[in-house]
Amino acid sequence: MKSFEAYVVRETEDRKYIGSVEKRTLEDLPEGDVLVEVKYAGLNYKDALSAHGNKGVTRKFPHTPGIDASGVIVKSSDANLPEGMEVIVTSYDLGMNTSGAFGQYISVPSSWVVPLPAGLTLKESMILGTGGLTAALCIDALLKNGQTPEDGPIVVTGSTGGVGSMAVAIASKLGFEVIASTGKTASHDFLKSIGASKVMDRAELKELPAKPLLKPMWAGAVDTCGGQTLEALLKTAKYGGSVACCGLVDDASLNMTVFPFILRGVSLLGVDSAECPVGHRKEIWKHLATDWKPGMLEEAATIISMEQLPEYLEKILKGENVGRAVLAY
């Protein structure tokens, strides 16, 4: 039986979670319609949670995390997904409770598989990954709610992170003036290089007065933080503005009045990429491969080896990540 390398996280008796590179065989993988040889895997916040034993993400250990894979089909029972096809597999249960992309092979249902669209390489698809897909879904939500670049600037929070950096890049490609909110003073040049017009300290949003409504400052936002940051963005959005909410790196709560919604017609748009239907997913990947494709993908990426996974997963958990980290096999 063919063996391959995988990063396996094990739970110790005193409930510590230790990851190391191990040999596994194809028999260790779950039954699936499609067997994919993974060429690249993107790193995400959810992977860091899984690798550190978060039971809300991964119930059972030992486990191989990795919610983002691109690679080549080596075995398939689906005629529409033949052997040799280059594909993207992201989210659903991959890397959560299904053995994930931090192993050289994954076995998945065909409904999770998206053929690599023309215009993207396997590597580029993982520089984008779930971060890029989620960022694009946020921008798509703003556009579908009627937001245009002419309405004014948009704020992106957690802007040096995987979702944030991709949101900055995609929005600026589409002609939006982007204000990047960050906690990292050393990353201002990076943010400008990927398309931010201005950079603000993330503390500014949290320091705004606790009033029900504040002076309108921007047309919309992509928020990865939640909590006080999301509250501030809703209270400072201009009349008819839209705020796409996709994350909770700061806080999962939202404590505010309804005034921005009923007095300024502000919209709060929820975004989920994990269960995003495959039709919408393919449409967004097509945009990412063509008219929304950021020009600076390589600049936003750090390519790492399996041995570097613990270091980069730790960085993500501490909020120290910049851009997209991608594991190359």
Ligand X SMILES: NC(=O)c1ccc[n+]([C@@H]2O[C@H](COP(=O)([O-])OP(=O)(O)OC[C@H]3O[C@@H](n4cnc5c(N)ncnc54)[C@H](OP(=O)(O)O)[C@@H]3O)[C@@H](O)[C@H]2O)c1
- The amino acid sitting at 329 is Y
Q: Which of 247, 267, 288, 289 binds ligand X (CB under 6 A)?
A: 247
**Cβ contacts of 307 within 8 Å, gap of 6 or more:** 21
The closest alpha carbon to 159, from 230, 239, 224, belongs to 224
- Token digits for 216? 């309108």
Alpha carbons 56 and 181: distance in angstroms, whole number: 28
Give 34 or 163: the residue with its C-beta nearer to ligand X.
Answer: 163
Alpha carbons 260 and 102: distance in angstroms, whole number: 43
Q: Does 44 bind ligand X (CB under 6 A)?
A: yes
Closest distance of CB 184 from ligand X, Å:
4
Give 147 or 224: the residue with its C-beta nearer to ligand X.
Answer: 224
The closest alpha carbon to 95, from 83, 85, 108, belongs to 108
Q: Does 167 bind ligand X (CB under 6 A)?
A: no
Closest distance of CB 150 from ligand X, Å:
27
Region 200-219 residues binding ligand X, contact defined as CB under 6 A = 202
Binding mask 49-88 for ligand X (x = CB under 6 A): ----------------------------------------
Identify whether the C-beta of residue 245 lies closer than 8 Å to the C-beta of residue 187.
no
Q: What are the φ and ψ backbone dihedral angles of 129, each rounded to 5 degrees? A: 55, -160
E runs forming strands in the chain = 3-11, 17-25, 34-42, 68-76, 86-90, 105-108, 113-115, 154-156, 178-182, 198-201, 218-223, 237-245, 267-270, 301-304, 324-328
Q: Which of 19, 32, 100, 162 binds ligand X (CB under 6 A)?
A: 162
Give 34 or 167: the residue with its C-beta nearer to ligand X.
Answer: 167
Q: Which of 248, 254, 268, 303 binds ligand X (CB under 6 A)?
A: 248
Q: Which of 154, 156, 246, 284 binds ligand X (CB under 6 A)?
A: 246
How many residues would you count in the chain?
A: 329
Binding mask 121-160 for ligand X (x = CB under 6 A): ---------xx--x-----------------------xxx
Q: Does 228 bind ligand X (CB under 6 A)?
A: no
In the complex, the residues that contact ligand X under the rule CB under 6 A are 44-46, 130-131, 134, 158-164, 182-184, 202, 224-225, 246-250, 271-274, 316, 319, 321
